A and B are shown apart, each in its own frame.
Chain A
């Protein structure tokens, strides 16, 4: 049957788009090297399921007297998402430990850590009962 260790997915969202505009070329190159080393370690350990930077361009769609498309994609640029990692983790603590290693934190970037909802909770309950019944 199923083992005790379960893993679940966590999303790291990197917030802040203009924090890097004030870095010098040398600093950019240094932070980039650190970021890459960090990223590569996670890939090697099989932790990353998916990861992408996001372009700054984009639109925002809202409901205001019908559909509204505004230039965006965000109200506050410092809160905008510049990229994400989708991680396969044992628990939230592991995801937080990884987020704390982000080399851009000290320059003002924030990392939001969110568990990915695997499936809807009531469906999980049904599945558990089914598993119990057939064991």
Chain B
């Protein structure tokens, strides 16, 4: 640990200046780089080395102060640990020279402040790991858990919180997935040729699910969930910067995520109750994020493929661009929903379309649109069906019917803040 003394550390009182989530972000980068060094068969080893490096920082920085360049300190420590491992472990013996050259190169680069070549290498390795984690042979839920663990530096307990399951279940899922990667020989590479487009779709789909997992209102830990949104944005942005993955649908996905995430700060009131779009304080929307989203939406507007991400980003953009609820361009939203329901017969999308219909043609037309939903039976126990119907009926002053719908909705939702909101509505109608 000699670097502690000669690294020009600053007084420990300034430790608060450590960037938020620094450890998590660095862990995500280093696991990718170390996986490149050790090989994807040794994913767990890469994770362990990074953990050890962070633990060493944790054990010493409070006493000696944080180094001037905390990220470089962690990288250097991880490199030293990797070296020790290479010398100790028999299974590296054959590849030892090759690996040693890689590590040598990496450390020389990383010590120069924010070396561009090391940054490029990190990006390259992160993309390889994204494609490995999102391999079609790995189950979807395992893909998101593994991506969070290895690419985003989440712990099993945090992943469990986000997915409302137990830490043990996540740990088990991660172990099985690493094992599967070894057994199936899933490569650590960015696919090339014709395969690329299909594989990119898989990656986009996983990032989309990761984002939605974080975005949906839940009884779980909302802060952790919002972090999922930001991680999904981080990875999708990385993808959009890559020459091959820099495609209209990638930008459409990034736009969709940014425009949705921009509205998160306004989504709940101070008591944690869900606020609907029309009740939200739009000054709380994150303007820079909306601007970034609109830029990506512009980059998405090329080529001849209109993906579902395009449509959703277009709908969200209409909301983001409206100064207030009444001035929302509902007819444009409705035409986007019309396009969407043509390619996707999900009843949930059709239900959302009904809301657009009601905003354009009135609540009675909205009810009609709900009644004509294909596969409507699938929505029988979906609380939002009744919340939407309750809203339409109350606009028509059918108060009894509205109250009944809201009661049903509140019985069906598992989310406490939603339940409070819905039963309040039901009560208000009866009084």
Interchain CB contact under 8 A, B13 and A40: yes
Interchain CB contact under 8 A, B61 and A25: no
Determine if A52 is an interface residue (Cβ-Cβ < 8 Å): yes
Tell which of B24, B59, B60 touches A29, judged by Cβ atoms closer than 8 Å. Answer: B24
Interchain CB contact under 8 A, B62 and A32: yes
Interchain CB contact under 8 A, B18 and A26: no
Q: What sequence of 0s and 1s flags, for each residue 18-51 of chain A, a beta carbon within 8 Å of any chain B beta carbon?
A: 0011011111110111011101100000000001
| Cα A39 to Cα B21 with chains together (Å) | 21
| Cα A31 to Cα B62 with chains together (Å) | 10
Tell which of B12, B155, B156, B157 touches A36, judged by Cβ atoms closer than 8 Å. Answer: B12
Determine if B393 is an interface residue (Cβ-Cβ < 8 Å): no
Q: How many residues of B contact A (CB 8 A)?
A: 29
Identify the interface centre among B62, B63, B156: most chain A CB within 10 Å of its CB.
B62
Determine if B154 is an interface residue (Cβ-Cβ < 8 Å): yes
Tell which of B1, B26, B52, B63 touches A83, judged by Cβ atoms closer than 8 Å. Answer: B63
Q: Please, which residues of chain B bring their CB within 8 A of the CB of A21? A: 51-52, 55
Knowing A21-B51, A39-B12, the reply to whether A26 touches B21 (Cβ < 8 A) is yes
Determine if A73 is an interface residue (Cβ-Cβ < 8 Å): no
| Cα A51 to Cα B64 with chains together (Å) | 10
| Cα A115 to Cα B61 with chains together (Å) | 26
Interchain CB contact under 8 A, B16 and A33: yes
Interchain CB contact under 8 A, B22 and A32: no
Interchain CB contact under 8 A, A20 and B63: no
| Cα A52 to Cα B27 with chains together (Å) | 26
Determine if B36 is an interface residue (Cβ-Cβ < 8 Å): no
Determine if A53 is an interface residue (Cβ-Cβ < 8 Å): yes
Q: Please, which residues of chain B bring their CB within 8 A of the CB of A36? A: 12-13, 15, 61-62
Interchain CB contact under 8 A, A26 and B61: no
Q: Please, which residues of chain B bring their CB within 8 A of the CB of A32? A: 15, 57-58, 61-62
| Cα A63 to Cα B153 with chains together (Å) | 46
Determine if B158 is an interface residue (Cβ-Cβ < 8 Å): yes
Q: Please, which residues of chain B bring their CB within 8 A of the CB of A39? A: 12, 62-63
Tell which of B15, B24, B26 touches A33, judged by Cβ atoms closer than 8 Å. Answer: B15
Interchain CB contact under 8 A, B63 and A26: no
Determine if B23 is an interface residue (Cβ-Cβ < 8 Å): yes
| Cα A24 to Cα B153 with chains together (Å) | 8
| Cα A83 to Cα B64 with chains together (Å) | 13
| Cα A28 to Cα B74 with chains together (Å) | 13
| Cα A39 to Cα B55 with chains together (Å) | 18
A25 CB to closest chain B CB, in angstroms? 4
Identify the interface centre among A23, A39, A53, A83: most chain B CB within 10 Å of its CB.
A53
Determine if A120 is an interface residue (Cβ-Cβ < 8 Å): no
Q: Nearest residue in A to B158 (C-beta to C-beta)?
A: A24
Interchain CB contact under 8 A, B18 and A33: yes
Q: What sequence of 0s and 1s flags, for each residue 49-90 of chain B, a beta carbon within 8 Å of any chain A beta carbon?
A: 001101101111111000000000000000000000000000
Interchain CB contact under 8 A, B158 and A20: no
Q: Please, which residues of chain B bring their CB within 8 A of the CB of A133? A: none
Q: Please, which residues of chain A bring their CB within 8 A of the CB of B63? A: 39, 51-53, 83
Q: Nearest residue in B to A48 (C-beta to C-beta)?
A: B63
Q: Nearest residue in A to B50 (C-beta to C-beta)?
A: A25
| Cα A120 to Cα B377 with chains together (Å) | 86
B300 CB to closest chain A CB, in angstroms? 32
Interchain CB contact under 8 A, B60 and A25: no
Q: Nearest residue in A to B30 (C-beta to C-beta)?
A: A25
> Which residues of A are at the interface with B, using a C-beta cutoff of 8 A?
20-21, 23-29, 31-33, 35-37, 39-40, 51-53, 55, 82-83
Interface CB pairs A-B, < 8 A, 27: A20-B55, A20-B58, A21-B51, A24-B154, A24-B155, A24-B156, A25-B54, A25-B155, A26-B23, A26-B153, A28-B23, A28-B55, A29-B18, A29-B21, A29-B58, A31-B58, A33-B15, A33-B16, A35-B62, A36-B13, A36-B61, A36-B62, A40-B12, A51-B63, A52-B63, A53-B63, A83-B63
Q: Top 8 closest A-B pairs, CB basis?
A: A24-B155, A25-B23, A29-B23, A36-B62, A36-B15, A25-B27, A25-B24, A35-B62
Given contacts A26-B155, A28-B55, A35-B62, could you give 10 more A-B pairs where the C-beta distance is less than 8 Å?
A20-B55, A24-B156, A24-B157, A25-B24, A27-B155, A28-B58, A29-B58, A32-B57, A39-B12, A40-B13
